[in-house]
Amino acid sequence: MASRERLPVLFRAAAMCFAAAAFFGVLRFTGLHTHPFPHQWLSLIVGTAAFPALAVAVARPGLRVTREPLPALGLLCALGVLGVLVVRALGWQPYLDACALLSVVAVFLATRQRSDRIGGAGALAMLVGLMCFAAKFPADGPLAPGDLLHLGLASGWVLIVRSHR
């Protein structure tokens, strides 16, 4: 596993947001906690704040905003508030989709630039999951589009973290 010193604070904060959304998603979809609110809101934060934070942390790991706790958490909170305002208050759902998609593309390009094949494969896994979910693919089958999204995100995170060893 990657050491804490090598993973920027912003990277770890983004991972915690993903983990929290996944935790409440498991509770929701197993029926242990049927209220959709925590999972939906955390997914909104992940889409509009954690994905961009991951992209910044992967593309520019040496920046102060990625390394120091206060600036990193400030950026994550600012992106989250902006996301909630744009998506919930203004009702503009494409902002959420664009943030996630553009962030994953930025992660892929950053990993490609430094010839990081493992990290690039992680970004591609995330991208495939996002695209399957957006296209509602497959319509029928043992796995739903949301399942493919979550499998893509989980495998992407494993590969991206692995690439930082």
HEC string for 20-64:
HHHHHHHHHHCCCCCCCHHHHHHHHHHHHHHHHHHHHHHHCCCCH
Q: Given a cut of 70, is residue 158 above it in pLDDT? A: yes
- Sketch the domain layout of the chain as residue ranges: 9-163
pTM over 0.75, yes/no? yes
Q: Given a cut of 80, is residue 162 above it in pLDDT? A: yes
